[in-house]
Structures are given as structure tokens and as C-alpha cells.
Amino acid sequence: MDEPIQKMEKDCSAIVDAQIPEIDAHAKSGNLTKALEQLLVLEKQTRSSADLVSSTRVLKRFIQLAFEANDWKSMQEYIVLLSKKHGQLKQAITRMIQESMECLDKTPDMKTKLDLIDTLRTVTDGKVYLEVERARVTRILAKIKEDEGNVNDAADIMQDLQVETFGSMEKREKTEFILEQIRLCLLKRDYVRANIISKKINIRYFKEIEVQDLKLRYYDLMIEYSLHENEYLNACKYYRQIYDTSAVKEDPVQAKRAVENASLFVVLAPFDNEQSDLIHRVYQEADQVDTPIYRDLLKCFITSELMRWSMIEQIYGPTLGQNPALAAGDEASRKRLKELHNRVVEHNIRVIAKYYTRITTKRLTQLLDLPDKDCEEFLSKLVVSKTIYAKIDRPAGIVSFAKSKHPNEVLNEWSQDINALLGLVEKTCHLITKEEIIHSITKVI
């Protein structure tokens, strides 16, 4: 909440203009202590008079004199001292802190910089009017820790601040801060917290043209999280959001990469209604970009025809092998390649269930190119997920895809068929009678 405007009791600008040159002269002659003591008396006058402009000049001068004298210890002491003065104007303290922050990049060594950062974080702790400054100093400290290799410490430091509640911070800076929190959590491998923090960002904000760079950073981070959690459908959605960015669409290389990755991950995602709808949408996008191999792969999964895994490897393997998601050679990429094989088998089972009511297990293993045990395992998974209906008669070696019906359902279907048949018979009789009448009339004429 903003501080209510305090009425100035006396204008001290003339006094400040008269004494500042004298104070500067003492500082240049090497007598910094006397200069700061005289400045402290002047600070009391400006503070008692509630003169914001003059008080701000004086507080900033403390920082400037200490910096010019390279006396960092005095600077830190006076930052703490002045911020605790009774009746000190909040706006003046804010300007002093901002002046101190500008000195961070000019410190002679890392120890001095860390001491100054620690002082600023101590002074700004718990003060709402200094929340933005505290956040910026904290981010600098986290960067230092990360550069030193202490990723865990950097992530913990950043988590201390809940910038989404800061009303005085601009939306872009707030989003950048949250993105930095997510990035550090992913580096720390704290995926649960990364997911929680990601929900603090309202993605509708990314519709603005000015924040496309933040949009791409956000979805890159979310893709990293999704791939770790094996959420392939979400990864596909995120790549589609990247493709939907104007800056990406204008670049054929980036657009092609986004569509190819979206195509790969929608194929890797388990089948359900949402995946079925999304794969058709991605197929349309792949048709607009020069990605013939990925487009043909999508078409194989859209078409109700059996696929041979050996042919898939032969036709699409070389191109898919160049995709970073499958070409890394690590355990994750090998797992994704296995998932692709599984999706091919599951697609084939859905096709078989569509065209067959009953099939022998021997014939099923031939169509799927799998041993009996694996066939039964895949069937069981699809039945449990309610993707298909199937029953296995092991002694007879028969798989039935026809769902058993209740006698009432059978009777109702029979009744509907009989009604439809009688309707057709009645219509046929009517047409025959009509033809006979027309024929008799023509004959009479």
C-alpha cells in the first residue's frame, strides 16, 4: 500500500544547497567521518521538516560519498542506520536503496558484494514498499550462487519470495521472476514445486505481442517438465502453443521443428478422445509445413489400417532418429522409442477390434507380430483403459471383441429391425401399386 502523502513543514532545499558543497569538500580532503557526521545533522533537519526532495538528496549523498571513498563498510552501516530512523520517509528510503543497488556491479571483490547484498536484504525484509528492490537483490544473489555451482541454494533463495503478490512490480518483471523460479526448480530436479509455481502464471498474458519471448521461455520450461513426467500429450500441446507464436511461424525452421515435435509427442501419447482429436489437428498443421515424413506417420495412426513395426522402422526410423527426443541415446529416449512401438501395437489392436468380432490368438499374434504373452498383456491394458472390449478364451484360443448384450437389448434391436423391415415392405407395396395405376391409366389413353 502506498504511503499517504505527508505535508512538508519546511523547504530545506536552500540549506541543503548551501551545505552539500562544504560536506563534499571535507570528503575530498579525506575527512570522510566529519563529512558523514555533518551530513547526518543535515539529514535530521530534512527528516524533521518532511521535505521529501531534500531528504532524498541527503540519503543518496550518504551512499555516493561512501562509494567515492571506497568505504563499503560505512555504506552498509549507514544504510542500516538511516533506514531505522523514526519518521524517515519511505520514498526517500526507497531511493537510497536503489542508489545502493547501482553500486553492486562496482564492488571491488565478491566478498564486498555479498556483504552489501546481505545488508540490502536485511534492510528490505518485511517492508512492502521495498518488495521490488528486495526481489531484484535476491535474484542477483541467486545468480551468484548458481554461477558458483550451488543450484540448490540459488533455488531456495528464489523460493523465499512470492512475487505474484507484489502489486508494485510490473507484470513482465514478475513473469520473468517466476520463470526464473521454475528454471531453478527444474535444475534442482524439484519437479513438484516447479509444477506448482508454473500455475502462478496466467497464460492469457502471453497473447500480447510484446511478451512472445517470455511465452517461448515458459513453454520450453513446461516441455522439459512434461517430458520428465512422461506427459506426452501436454508436451504436444506446448509445442502447438510455440508453433502458434507469430515469431515462430515467420521462421520456417522453428515452425517445422515445433510441428515435428508436436507430431511425435501426440503419437507417443496414450489413445483417448482428447488424443484422437488432437492428432487430427496436428495432422492439419503438419500439412501446412514441409514435414512429409511426420505427416505420413500421423496419417498411419489416423487411418484404420494395420501397421507393421518393421516397416515403420524402415520408413520413418532414419528421420525420427534425428529428433533430439529419440536421438539422445539415454534411457529416456530408449523409453520413448519403446513407447512408439507400443502405440503401433495398440493402434493395430484397435483396428482388429473394429473389423473382427472373433479371432484366434494364433492369427492375432501373426497380425501383431508379437508372442502370445505380449498380445495378452496389450489386450489387457486396452480393456482396463476401456479403449476396447475383449474376452479371451484361453482353452479355445479365441479372442472375442463382440460385447455380450442383455436379452432386453437383443429384443429391442430385433424389434427395431422388424419395424424397419415392415416399413420397407409397406413402402415397396405402395410403389408397386403406384406403378400399376400409372400403367393402367397409360393403357386406357
207 lies in the same domain as 348: yes
Q: Per-residue pLDDT tens for 39-67?
A: 888 888 888 888 888 888 889 988 988 88
pTM: predicted TM-score of the whole model, two decimal places:
0.82
Q: Does any domain span residue 393?
A: yes
Which residues make Cβ contacts (< 8 Å) with residue 137, sequence separation at least 6? 101, 104, 117, 120, 121, 124
Domain end point (choices 332, 354, 376): 354
Q: Containing domain of residue 3, as a range?
A: 1-124
Q: Does any domain span residue 62?
A: yes
Backbone φ, ψ for residue 298 (5° rounding): -60, -40
Question: Measuring CA to CA, which residue among 417, 418, 441, 421 is closest to residue 429?
Answer: 421
346 lies in the same domain as 217: yes
Q: Does any domain span residue 183?
A: no
Q: Does any domain span residue 161?
A: no
Task: State the pairing for strand pair 358-360/398-400.
Answer: antiparallel
pLDDT recorded at residue 445: 59
Separation CA 362–CA 383 (nearest Å): 19
232 lies in the same domain as 321: yes
222 lies in the same domain as 264: yes
CATH number of the domain where residue 396 is located: 1.10.10.10
349 lies in the same domain as 285: yes
- Describe the strand order of the beta sheet including 358-360 as a list of residue ranges: 358-360, 398-400, 391-393
* Helix 331-355 / helix 252-268 crossing angle, nearest 10 deg: 60
Separation CA 437–CA 431 (nearest Å): 10
217 lies in the same domain as 316: yes
Q: What is the pLDDT along the chain (445 residues), one digit of tens a residue?
A: 444 556 666 777 788 888 888 888 887 887 888 888 888 888 888 888 888 888 888 899 889 888 888 889 989 998 998 888 888 888 999 999 999 999 988 888 999 999 999 999 999 988 888 999 999 999 999 999 999 989 999 999 998 888 888 888 899 999 999 999 999 999 999 999 999 999 999 999 998 889 999 999 999 999 999 999 999 999 999 999 999 998 898 888 999 999 999 999 999 999 999 999 999 999 998 888 888 899 999 999 999 999 999 899 899 988 888 888 887 778 888 899 999 999 999 999 999 999 998 999 889 889 988 888 888 888 888 888 888 888 888 888 898 888 777 788 778 888 898 999 999 999 999 999 988 888 888 766 5
pLDDT recorded at residue 385: 87
Q: Per-residue pLDDT tens for 205-228?
A: 998 889 999 999 999 999 999 999
Which three three-digit cell numbers place residue 226?
A: 512434461
pLDDT recorded at residue 26: 80
pLDDT recorded at residue 6: 61
Domain end point (choices 336, 354, 372): 354
pLDDT recorded at residue 242: 94
Q: Does any domain span residue 277?
A: yes
Domain end point (choices 72, 93, 124): 124
Q: Does any domain span residue 271?
A: yes
48 lies in the same domain as 106: yes
Q: Does any domain span residue 90?
A: yes
307 lies in the same domain as 379: no
366 lies in the same domain as 406: yes
16 lies in the same domain as 111: yes
Q: Evaluate whether 262 touches 282 at the Cβ level (below 8 Å).
A: yes
Count the domains in the chain.
Answer: 3
Q: Does any domain span residue 138?
A: no
Separation CA 92–CA 54 (nearest Å): 9
Separation CA 234–CA 270 (nearest Å): 11
Separation CA 353–CA 378 (nearest Å): 13
316 lies in the same domain as 412: no
Q: Count CA within 13 A, CB hemisphere, residue 107.
A: 18
340 lies in the same domain as 363: no
- For the chain, the three-class secondary structure string (H helix, E strand, C coil) is CCCCCCCCCCCCHHHHHHHHHHHHHHHHCCCHHHHHHHHHHHHHHHHHCCCHHHHHHHHHHHHHHHHHCCCHHHHHHHHHHHHCCCCCCHHHHHHHHHHHHCCHHHCCCHHHHHHHHHHHHHHHCCCHHHHHHHHHHHHHHHHHHHHCCCHHHHHHHHHCCCHHHCCCCCHHHHHHHHHHHHHHHHHHCCHHHHHHHHCCCCHHHHHCHHHHHHHHHHHHHHHHHHHHCCCHHHHHHHHHHHHCCHHHHCCHHHHHHHHHHHHHHHHHCCCCHHHHHHHHHHHHHHHHCCCHHHHHHHHHHHCCCCCCHHHHHHHHHHHHCCCHHHHCCCHHHHHHHHHHHHHHHHHHHHHHHHHCCEEEHHHHHHHHCCCHHHHHHHHHHHHHCCCCCCEEECCCCEEECCCCCCHHHHHHHHHHHHHHHHHHHHHHHHHHHHHHHHHHHHHHC
